[in-house]
Amino acid sequence: MTESSERTVQLEVENINLRFGGVMALDGLGFTVRKGEIFSIIGPNGAGKTSMLNCISGRYHPQRGSISFEGQDVTRLTPAARARLGIARTFQNIALFKGMSVLDNILIGRHTHLKSGLFRGGFYLGPCRKEEIEHRRFVEDIVDFLEIEHIRKRVVGTLAYGLQKRVELARALALDPKLILLDEPMAGMNLEETEDMVRFILDINQERGITVILVEHDMGVVMDISDRLVVLNFGEKIGEGTPEEVQQNPEVVKAYLGGEASVFLGR
Binding positions for other proteins, rule: CB under 8 A:
57-59, 78-80, 83-84, 88-89, 91, 95-100, 104, 107-109, 111-112, 114-118, 120-124, 128-129, 132-133, 136-137, 140, 149, 152-153, 171, 175
Least distance in angstroms from the C-beta of 69 to other proteins: 14
- Three-class SS string for 69-108? ECCEECCCCCHHHHHHHCEEECCCCCCCCCCCEHHHHHHH
For other proteins, which is the closer residue by CB, 125 or 265? 125
Q: Tell me if 16 sits within 8 A of 28, measured CB to CB.
A: yes
Least distance in angstroms from the C-beta of 11 to other proteins: 16
CA atoms in the 13 A half-sphere facing the CB of 111: 13
For other proteins, which is the closer residue by CB, 98 or 254? 98
For other proteins, which is the closer residue by CB, 29 or 53? 53
What is the C-alpha to C-alpha distance for residues 47 and 56, in angstroms, rounded to an integer?
16
Least distance in angstroms from the C-beta of 65 to other proteins: 21
The DSSP code for 155 is: B
Least distance in angstroms from the C-beta of 243 to other proteins: 29
Bridge-based pairing state of the strands 211-215 and 38-42? parallel
For other proteins, which is the closer residue by CB, 85 or 263? 85
Residue 31 φ/ψ, nearest 5 degrees:
-165, 165
For other proteins, which is the closer residue by CB, 26 or 128? 128
Least distance in angstroms from the C-beta of 180 to other proteins: 11
Q: Which H or E run contains 181?
A: strand 179-183
